[in-house]
Structure formats: C-alpha cells, structure tokens
Structure 1
Amino acid sequence: NRHQDFAYVGNAVPNSQQWRDAKRLKDAGMTIIRAAHYPQDPAFMDACDELGLFIIVPTPGWQYWNKDPKFGELVHENTRQIIRRDRNHTSVLMWEPILNETRYPEDFALKALDITHEEFPYPGRPVAAADMNSAGVKDNYDVLYGWTDDIGKEGTPENKCIFTREFGEMVDDWYAHNCLNRAARSWGEKPMLTAALSLSDTYGEMFHGQRQFIGGCQWHPFDHQRGYHPDPYYGGIYDAFRQKKYAFEMFRSQDRTQEPMVFVANEMTQFSDEDVVVFSNCDSVRLTQFEGDKVLTLPVVHDAGDKPCAPVVFKGFWNFWKAREYSYKQRNWQRVSLLAEGIKDGKVVCSEKKMPSRRSTKIRLYADEMGRKLTADGSDFIVVVAEITDDNGNVKRLAKDNIMFSIEGEGRIIGDETIFANPRAVEWGSAPILVQATDKPGSITIHARSAFSGVYAPAEATLTIESVAAEMPKCFTDEPSAKTVRTASASAAASQQMTDEERQRTLEEVNRQQMDFGIQ
C-alpha cells in the first residue's frame, strides 16, 4: 500500500520522487501496489508502467458513509472519473470501486460493480475487488479482500480469489496505536529487527500453498504523518526520508530470482544481540566471527508453503567482551568483524563485512538520486544524507551529533530550524535533508559540519551535484513560498472541535470497523 507522503513536503511530491518511490518498491521485491486511498499522481502511475509494477486503484474514501443519496452518487462519479483517468495504464491490475473500511448498502456495492464493468469492459477478466464481508461483495465481486483464514470457512465462495489488502499491522488498539511492526529507524537495531522478523512471520503465514489465495499488500512502505493520530506512522520499510530499515532487506531477500544478496542485521554495538540474524536469498550463508575465531554455515530455509527465504539465525555470534579483548588488551581492533558470505550452487556469490564503528571522526555525504538526476524546474528535490563515520568509513550508529548544512549554487535546502530541518539531529548514524533545485541547471555544492565545532568534532564534508535542464517549460514563478508558522494556541483551538464524548464514540466506531473488515 502506498501513500504519496514525503518528509517536510507532505503530498507535494515532485515527479522524480514519484518515480523513485516506484523504484524503491521494485527494489524491495514488491510486485503489486495498492494506491491508498486516493488518486495517485499520474507520474507515479507512469513510473509503475515503466518499471513493471501492478497497481490496484481504489475509489477515494475511507471510513465514512452519508445516507443522503447524493453522497453515493458522488462516489460513483469519482469511480467513473478515476477509471477513465487510469484505464489506459498497463500497470492497472484491478479496481477497488467502493469506500475503504466503510459500511455501505448492498445497492451501492452492486452499482459500483456495474460502473466498473461499464468503464472497463473486458469480459472474463477480474476487474473489481472489495472487502468480502461488505454487503453485496461475496457473491458478486471478482476478487475478495480477506485472509488465508477465510479460505474454507462457511460462506466463503470457493470460486473466488482471496487477496489481503493490508497485512503487517499488529496494533494493540486503535487509540494507542502501539504496534510490533512499527519501529522508527531512530529507535535502532532491536526495534527494527523485531519489526522485520514480525513481518517475515506474517508474510510466511499468509502463503500456505492455497490456490485460492493470490497475494497481499503490506501496510505500509514509507513512514508518514497521518492526521487522525498524533504519532506518525512508523511501520515503513523506509523512513519518511526513504532511508532503509531492516524490513527492506527482509523483503528483498524473499526473491530468489534477483541478484544474490546477504545482509547482516547486527551493528556490533555494545547493545547488540549475541544472536546474529542474516537475511539472504542464497542457498546458504557462511558467517565468520573475528576473522576465523568461529565459522559456521547454515542453510537458508526455502519453503514453498511459508517464507520463500527464512531469516538465518547464528546463535551467540556477537560477543562484546570478546571484541573488547581484541580491541583493548591486544590492540588488534582490526580483527573485530563479522563476515557473511552468501553461497549458491556451492559458490560464494555475495558477501557483507561489518565492523563496529570506533571514534566519530568524519562526515560522509551522499545524494539519493537512484539513477534519476535532479531537474532544474524550481520544484524537484532529492534527499542528501550526512553520515557520521569512523576513520574506516563504518557508520557510528549511536552518534548524537547535530549537523549544520549550507548550500551554494543552483539549489536550496527545504526547511530550517523552525522544523528542525537545519541543523538536523543525527539519528541512527545519519542526518538527511531535502535539496531543491532552482529553475537554472548547474552545480549545487552542499557543506555539512558539526553544529558544535571543536577539535574533536567530526571533520566537515562537501558534496557537489549537478542539476539538469527541465524537459518542459515552466509555468510558474520560481519564488519559494513565504514561511507560515502556526502558533500553538491556534493548533489547540482547532483541536477542540469535538467533545470528549464525540471523540470516544468515533474511536469506538473506528475500532468496530477495523474488526469488521478483518484487520489483524
């Protein structure tokens, strides 16, 4: 499932980042994207056409029904319009012509299905999907949203395909929103690993070789603001700046047809688990501790009825005290490492070596272009990341620096100190910023230094990137918008629109709807 929300800019995502988001999902091994719950930018649809991703296109709407007949008519009109807009995209797999997680009458569901067939007239092809427990859906829609648990239950049609529209959410309740799979990247190794392993288990439980079950979409790839809850959504396999979490590597490892990969989900800090988890799509993984102290090869379990590539767990392979002995007593810190090698058909085909970071001495800058250059159209932006490293380039995951950025040339930094964008606190070893192009192509030089300079601060860094000319002429004036700061009192006043009783009733209704529509 995908929201087109990005750090700082919200829904104002340029075309290049729409393409990069599609590429990020492709790189993670995803095949089907559900466009939740509104029309995605046409640039995202174009990117999915280009990259070979399927899309489920829903009618806009979520958890709201108005009994006035005019409301249903407007929803149906939305359905016609979105099908007409997107039906010539080769990426469209099917349509979701109803309202997400909403109780609606049977005649509404049947009319929505008729409209879908009218606007997308291809007999014999599944074209419409909806929640199987909603009125009018089970007996009439082509694909039913449900779970593998629904297969074989009384009332579940045997001739219909089952698809899970949202999997991965293990929320305690719909007020607190604490969830096993929601792990902010800044929380570090243990939460991210817990989330990745939980998603791995859920992913495996969904696939039991059932022919009737055809797949599902994980909620959600990118951290984002939600509006209806004070906490951001932290369950992404990327954070809001599109920095990867461990769950990204877990999903990437599930595709055995792609390039061989191995990822060590252990940062070798003083707080890291002794057990070392490795994600890989190879036949087996060989892990070497401290350049030969311990060597073990374990299989990557491939189960057609479960996880295609189960995580590999090496028991007791990280020992801080053993590492300390080499570093402190023997002055041989170079030996402290973990080397994971992916083996396929008896040969080592990929590897990853990890070492614990020593003293923070450097800042390393990189631009997250993903093969698509920054366009000088006054709107486009890319993410530039500053990492804190030791002398050998190992990222200091537990660094607590603040990075001050400055820029020269044909670019500007989105955001400032009022939203903590610049200077930017380092979280899990890195500090990202958004660099936006002007309307003139040319060089952009980014400087990064510690906000608190001194002899022992990490050495500053400089990165120069080039923006390219826009293919289309601009139709706006290239002037950044003025700052608008909403005061705390204004925010408080806006939040008092509901009484406590009204809020409680609304929360209870949301909870009932989540249960009705099979959110597990």
Structure 2
Amino acid sequence: MKIKLVSLFYLFVFSVLFAQEKKVLPEFSKAGFWEVENAGRKTYNFNLGWRFIKSDVKEAHQKDFDDSKWKVINCPHGLEYITSESTGGNNYQGVAWYRKHFKIDEKTSQKRLKLHFEAIMGKSKIWLNGHLIGEHFGGYLPVVVDLDQYLNKNGDNVIAVWADNSDDATYPPGKPQKGLDMTYFGGIYRDVWLVATNKIYVTNPMEVDKVAGGGIFTSIESLSDKEVVVNVKVDIQNDDIKTKKLKATILLKNPNGKVVVSSDQKLSIKKAKALQIHESLVVDKPSLWSPWSPKLYKLEVLLSDDSGNNIDGVATRIGLRKIEFKGNDGLYLNNEPYPGKLMGANRHQDHAYVGYAIPNNGQYRDAKILKDASCDIVRAAHYPADPAFMDACDALGMFFIVATPGWQFWNNDNPIFGERVFQDIRNMVRRDRNHASVILWEPVLNETFNPDDFTRKTHHIVHEEYPYQGAYTVSDYGVGGHEVFDVVYAHPNNPQLANETRSIFTREFGSIGNADTPNRIHRDWGEKAQLYQANQYAKSDIGIPSWDMICNTPKQHVGGAIWHSFDHYAGKHARPFYGGFVDAFRQSKYAYHMLASQRDVSEENKPMVYIAHEMAAFSDKDVHIYTNCDEVRLTVDEGLEIYQKQASRKYKYRKQLLRKWAERENPPREYEVKRESYLSHPIVVFKDVFTYRGNKNYIKTITGKGTKASFLVEGLIDGKVVASAYKTPANNGYKLELRLKDRNKTLTANGSDFVLVEAHVLDKNGNTVRYNEDTIQFEVTGEGAIIGDASIVANPRRMEWGTAPLLVRATTKAGKIKIKASLLDPGINTIKAGELEIESTPSGDVFVQNEIGIEPTKQ
C-alpha cells in the first residue's frame, strides 16, 4: 500500500498562517469547549481523509492492514447517500470501518493527545496502531479516547474505528428500526477533534465521569437587572510526575468582548491528582439573555506556571438568565412573567441525501429556519442534538429541551439497558449544562412504559448532576413516577389536569398520530394541500391541538412544540414523514410562512406579507394572506377591487371595501367576519375574491378597458405601507433561475459544509411556475461538488412545486463555485438554462490529515 504522506508540521504551519491571514473567527465550540488563543492547548480538525468501507472486514483494526482500495471520505459521514423519499428501513444497517493515517510533529507529540468524537452511531470500538483504546454504546453523545499510550511519536499512526448501527436492545433507544419512528443512520456523522494539551489541563466532563463535575460548570446564583452572581467550578488534572504550582485565572467577557470580571487563584496540585476550584463572579449592569435579546458572555479559564507561561486555557459561553417554572403562575424569565406562550417545534436531525451527516453550518441553518418560523423553543426528538445546533440556539435565542435517547422501548430482559440510560442522562447534562438555551431536561424514555422507580431515578440523576437553581425536569403526565418531575407534558384542556399545580408544556402538537394524518403534506401536493396543513397548524378544525389552541390556555400552560419542523425519514413507515413546515431539503411550505407571520415586527423582525395563493385554474376563490402587520390591503386586478382588513390580534376583524370599479354594475361583495383568533397574527382570508380568467395576463372589464390580472397585497402599520407582495398568474416556463439558500451562513471551505441551491422555473414575468415537472440536469465547477447523482435521484432531478433542489458541497479550498441548471432534454423552445456563481470562505480550523476525501461522482 502506498499513501502519499504530507508533513504534518508544514500542514500545521500553513493552516495556522492561513487562518490568521483571513481573520477567521470561531463560530462553534470544539470538543466541548471554545478555543482561547495562545493558551497552551490546540484543538485540531480531524475530519479529513478517513478511509472507509461499508462492510465488516477481518483484521481491519491492525496497523499494517491494506486499506488502499477503500474510499477516502471526510467527516461528518453517514455511510451512504439515500434518496429524499427513502424510508421504511431501506438504509444500511450493519458494520462499517473507518481508518485514518496521520503523523504528529515533534512539538505536538510531547502533548497529551486525545480524540474527541462528537458522535458515532450505534456501538463502536476504536483502535490506535492495532491497540484497542475505546469502546462505546450509543449514537448521540461524545466518545473520548486517550492516544498517549500507543502513539508513535516519530512516524505513521493509524486510527481504526469499527461502527455498527444495527439493531441492539442492550442500549438506548434499543427499539428495532423497523418499528421506529426515526432512523438509525450510521457512521462517524459528527465532527472529530484532536485535542493537544500540556500535562496539567482543564478536564473534559465527558471523560472523567464525575457527578456534577469535570470541565467547567457555571450556574446562576442570583439575578437582577442590576447584578448577577455567577458561580463557577473548574476541574483541573495534573498528569505530570511532580506536584505543580500554578495560577488559575478566570475572565468573564461581555458580549462585546470586554473583560467585566476577573479572578486569580494560586494553586498547588499533586502529581496524578485532580482538584476543583470554585469562584463567584459578580456582574454589574448585566446584559440578560432572552429569546429577543440573546446576549452571550464568554467565560475563559487560563492556567499558568510560576513564570507566567500559559499551561492551558479553555472557554465556555453562558447567558445570564434565570428560569423559573411557577406552577399555576406559569413561566418566569429573569424575574418577569414570560410574555405570551413559549412556542416552537420538535426537530429530528436528518437531512435529505446525507442522513445525519449535517455539518456545523448546516446545524446553524436548521436553527435559523426554526427561529425565522417564530420558534422560540426546540424540543430534541428524541436524543441530544449536535453541539453546533446547541451553539446556534444560544446565539439565536431559542430555548432547548434536551432529551435522552429513547422511543417506545423498554428492555425487561437485560438490566444493562437501564444502566446505559442512566449514563446517557449523566452525560447529556454534563455536555449541555452551560448552554443558555437549555430550559428543560427530558430524562425519561419517550412514550415508554418503564418501571416507576426507573422514571423517578431519571429525575433524581438530573438533579444530582445539576444541583443548582434553574434545573427543571419534565415527563409526560400520567406516566408512572411522573409526580416527582418539575414540569409535565400534556395536551391543552386535558380534564385530568384539573388538580395539577405544576407548569404544563405540550411536547407535540400538529401532525401527531399515524402516518396518514391529514396534515402530513408533501410539498409537491400543491396549493390546497399546503393551505390545509397551514390552517390546521394555526387553528385546527378537526380537534387536534394547534398554535391557536395553546395560545388560548391559562398561564399555567406555558407553551408547546409542533410535531414536526422538517420532513424526515422513518423506519416504520412506507413513506417519509411529510408533516414538516419545510421539506427534507429545507424548502418551505405555506405553513412555514404562516408561522413566520407570528413573529411581531421589531428591530430584528421585518414586516412581512405572504400570498398563499397561486392564481391557477384550480386555486381557491378565497385568498389567504400571512402577515405580521396591523392591516392588510388587497388590490385585485390593478384596482378592479380593493379590500382591507385588520390583521393583528389586538384588533378585531372588520370588513372594508375601499373602492370599486367606477362603472361596475354589481354591488360590492360582502365578506364573512371571522371571530377573533388567539394567534398573535391571525390568517387573513379575503373570501370569494378570485375568479380564474383563462390564465391571461390581461382581462377586460365591462368598460372595455384592459387591466392586468394580479394581486397586490400591502401590509400597513399605523396606516403606512411597510411591506408588500405582488403576484400575477404564472404562464409557461421561460427560464431557470438558481437561488442560494444559505440562511446568511456562508459556505465554508472545510470539506464538509454544503448549501441548498434551488432551481426555479420562471415565466417571462418572473413568476415561479409551480405546476412544472421538467427534469433538471445540474453541473458544478470550481471549488464545489454536487452531493448525489442519478442513483439517488439527485442529478438529474425532477421539478416539484416549481423547484428542484441541489446540494453543493465545498472543497477544502476557498473559492468560486459555478452552478448551471438546464433541462435534461432541451429543445429550441424549451426552458432556458440558468447559472449562478457563489463563493466559499476559508475555514479557521487547523486540519490534521494525510489525504482529503473528494465528493464521489458515483455512489
């Protein structure tokens, strides 16, 4: 086997200079911490250049095993690409192997070296140079292994990972995939980091297994508008052969990066021992964290020796906020009643084509979609999320409910299952305890009938691991042992809750039930189907809980989460879950825009109007408008009719005909006045205003004058137009237009990041032709590549609802990417091709690799 090896020393030098030249700032934590410059610790990106095979191979753990014919891939990696309609358990389950060859330069080899896998799906074993150094059961929490004992400091090294995502009832979730409402996508599907420290260092709580300890642990002791007291615990380990004296410095920096509090402690730490330091920091004139003002502080811990040299340094981000669930009085945030209801959505972590292997920027983009859809809380379904998603929730201002892995399964036959659940609970608290976004801990197995004493113990474990104010557990009402939990899950208006004194949250509402629930709507099913889904999520007429229903509950009922935000795969169903308000590619449905309209206008949230109507032959006579403005004015056919309605919850609906066509003989039509909704911004419905006129651009009135068939919708606040939308009937397709959907998170050249590009079919007036089903061929050149090919129906791709999605992955070199879309079988009079040029930006990471995976052209 011949593998070209690049000197890691030169790679380090190049990467560091490259990152410094571009001034790339960190956007996500790494290996459980945020980096501190020049602090004695280095965290390297270990994602690139893994050799991979999707099968079980004997002796693949041996250092000299010949893997030269294996694929070269980059992590995050999900074993395979799958079609967007894959479901019913057709994904691969079984053993896969990963191997990575690497060298360490002389300076780095003197450090303590550990690998931090953010997650490996299923059960896994890890070898270094043929020696077993780690074994793990569970696919959603970190795996940390020590490299020092078997590391070759002067030559080649090989990490080998055996990963198995097949069914196994001995660890959670435990349920066979064929009966699971989600999927066990496999692989090393989150980031891998190589952490280099000196022999005295701040520990990783995922590794040291200390109750309420390890790493950095922050908690809020007291909070007011004038002053916040932050308690800090730091766990420090000495792996040196001598007792050492050192200084520990704690710095708290405000959202602008200014140090507002600092403290120093002189310490003596014995050889091969650990110690904890405690500090209380008083912050004057604090910037408090909330969903509408997500201000984050950075807490840095620096360890230095007698000479003032930095030994180690790490940081964590915290939000200064106080959460209180006050039973009948509801939720309090920062000593004030929470304004309104805390509304949001559930979120599974899979994505079209790539399964679970979503890069960090993709995690942020998912969070941004949810925030833009008026979600101020996200419930994990049904396992801890990627650390990058948690970082995004902190930064964007979304609360998060952390859930232990589990779904409708309990193992009565093997007690090891329960013990592994307990360990998962401890690890999820240790990993996520410092996040500002965490509001509830859900330690119970979702929808599972397990022993009562087990349920009670899950609650107690959370409070053992987080023994301070602000830790709240939650469980379904009525489950055995639920009475010890701090908050309960329940549906609105449940008569069994008459005597309940705890605060209540609805964990799932909307598209709950069987796979054929009527509001599980594929985006391509069109206007009427999407309208139905949006209406049911807003205000159901079939008796299921809705956004409106939850908003019309006492303050004891603090909020709820839609099931579900994104279309996703499932092992137990013959088709994917279609109940998302965006699809598996993150393309929007009407319901997304309806939810976006629930966000009040503010400095951060712009006024908006959206016309949920396509002006097609089979469109409804009623016109639905989503808006966050106070009033809406609809102008039909360039002034043939003009109607206006008040749209905000703070006004009652009224009907108003401002003007009619002067020569029109018929009197103005009357409009039904809907009763006031409990939505912040009810859906505005102009009834019986659309008549299909043969899809012509121009119509003739009874005066013989010509006017354009059109809708002009204007949103008004304080009588002034602040937002507008204009629509005309779509004609035949004329050209393709490519649109980048990066959610303001630029594509990063790190070998894993990818973005959605939508190809739209437009007519000559710029309208998206929704009912077009041409097949599109994509081409990409430059520093990017297409994810998927014809084998997974990715390229070519048939149009659905007027668009065709394309996923474009960045290379490791920043630069321009040219994208072209054309008809698969073009002709003289067919739709014209479209082109788009985008550009990726440099990564701030320092990489360790001998090879780099390249996006395959065939799967």
Among 462, 470, 490, the alignment partner of 1:116 is 462
TM alignment of 1:318-397, pairs within 5 A: 318-321=690-693, 324=696, 326-327=698-699, 335-397=708-770
Give the drift of 1:207: 2.2
Alpha-carbon separation, structure 1, partners of 2:819 and 2:705: 37
**Counterpart position of 2:791:** 418
1:227-259 C-alpha deviation (Å, 9 max, x unpaired): 221211111111111111100111111122432
**Counterpart position of 1:494:** none
Work out whether residues 710 and 727 of structure 2, in 8 Å CA contact, stay in contact via their aligned partners in 1: yes
Work out whether residues 207 and 305 of structure 1, in 8 Å CA contact, stay in contact via their aligned partners in 2: no
User: Counterpart of 1:40 in 2: which secondary structure?
Assistant: coil
Among 634, 653, 657, the alignment partner of 1:287 is 634
Work out whether residues 788 and 858 of structure 2, in 8 Å CA contact, stay in contact via their aligned partners in 1: no
1:346-368 C-alpha deviation (Å, 9 max, x unpaired): 22111111111112111101111
Give the drift of 1:69: 2.7
User: Counterpart of 1:274 in 2: which secondary structure?
Assistant: coil
**Counterpart position of 1:188:** 526
User: Counterpart of 1:321 in 2: which secondary structure?
Assistant: coil
Structure 1's 55 and 154: CA in aligned 2 closer, same or farther, altered over 3 A? Answer: closer
- Paired residues, what number? 477
**Counterpart position of 2:438:** 92
TM alignment of 1:169-248, pairs within 5 A: 169=511, 171=513, 174=514, 177-201=515-539, 202-248=546-592
AA of the residue aligned to 1:317: V
AA of the residue aligned to 1:297: Q
**Counterpart position of 1:457:** 830
Among 154, 162, 179, the alignment partner of 2:504 is 162
**Counterpart position of 2:120:** none
Structure 1's 484 and 406: CA in aligned 2 closer, same or farther, altered over 3 A? Answer: closer
**Counterpart position of 1:133:** 478
Work out whether residues 408 and 448 of structure 2, in 8 Å CA contact, stay in contact via their aligned partners in 1: yes
Q: TM (normalized to structure 1)?
A: 0.88
Alpha-carbon separation, structure 2, partners of 1:154 and 1:464: 58
1:59-93 C-alpha deviation (Å, 9 max, x unpaired): 11111001233221111111001110111111111
Work out whether residues 701 and 707 of structure 2, in 8 Å CA contact, stay in contact via their aligned partners in 1: no
**Counterpart position of 1:309:** 681
Alpha-carbon separation, structure 1, partners of 2:416 and 2:473: 23
Identity of aligned residues (%): 45
Structure 1's 154 and 61: CA in aligned 2 closer, same or farther, altered over 3 A? Answer: closer
Alpha-carbon separation, structure 1, partners of 2:404 and 2:532: 34
Structure 1's 389 and 482: CA in aligned 2 closer, same or farther, altered over 3 A? Answer: closer
Alpha-carbon separation, structure 2, partners of 1:117 and 1:170: 31
Work out whether residues 98 and 109 of structure 1, in 8 Å CA contact, stay in contact via their aligned partners in 2: yes
Alpha-carbon separation, structure 2, partners of 1:33 and 1:155: 24
Alpha-carbon separation, structure 1, partners of 2:812 and 2:646: 53
**Counterpart position of 2:307:** none
1:398-445 C-alpha deviation (Å, 9 max, x unpaired): 112111111111111011111111111011111111001111111111
Structure 1's 154 and 400: CA in aligned 2 closer, same or farther, altered over 3 A? Answer: closer
Work out whether residues 96 and 130 of structure 1, in 8 Å CA contact, stay in contact via their aligned partners in 2: yes
Alpha-carbon separation, structure 1, partners of 2:371 and 2:795: 31
Structure 1 window deviating more from structure 2 (327-336 vs 317-326): it is: 327-336
Alpha-carbon separation, structure 1, partners of 2:684 and 2:706: 26
Work out whether residues 438 and 478 of structure 1, in 8 Å CA contact, stay in contact via their aligned partners in 2: no
TM alignment of 1:478-493, pairs within 5 A: 478-480=852-854
Structure 1 window deviating more from structure 2 (62-71 vs 194-203): it is: 62-71
Work out whether residues 755 and 808 of structure 2, in 8 Å CA contact, stay in contact via their aligned partners in 1: yes
Among 388, 396, 399, the alignment partner of 1:43 is 388
Highest Rg: 1 or 2? 2
1:361-383 C-alpha deviation (Å, 9 max, x unpaired): 11101111221111111111101
Alpha-carbon separation, structure 1, partners of 2:437 and 2:368: 14
Alpha-carbon separation, structure 1, partners of 2:800 and 2:444: 40
Greater relative contact order: 1 or 2 (C-alpha under 8 angstroms, separation 6 or more)? 2
Among 615, 622, 628, the alignment partner of 1:268 is 615
**Over 4 Å off, 4+ runs:** 154-157, 322-325, 327-334, 481-485
Structure 1 window deviating more from structure 2 (464-473 vs 159-168): it is: 464-473
Give the drift of 1:293: 0.7
Unaligned runs of 5+ in 2: 1-345, 540-545, 651-675
Alpha-carbon separation, structure 2, partners of 1:432 and 1:299: 37
Give the drift of 1:480: 3.6
AA of the residue aligned to 1:98: V
What's the RMSD between the two structures over aligned residues? 2.1
More helix by share: 1
Give the drift of 1:447: 0.9
**Counterpart position of 1:408:** 781
**Counterpart position of 2:493:** 149
AA of the residue aligned to 1:193: L
**Counterpart position of 2:352:** 7
AA of the residue aligned to 1:159: T
Alpha-carbon separation, structure 2, partners of 1:231 and 1:355: 35
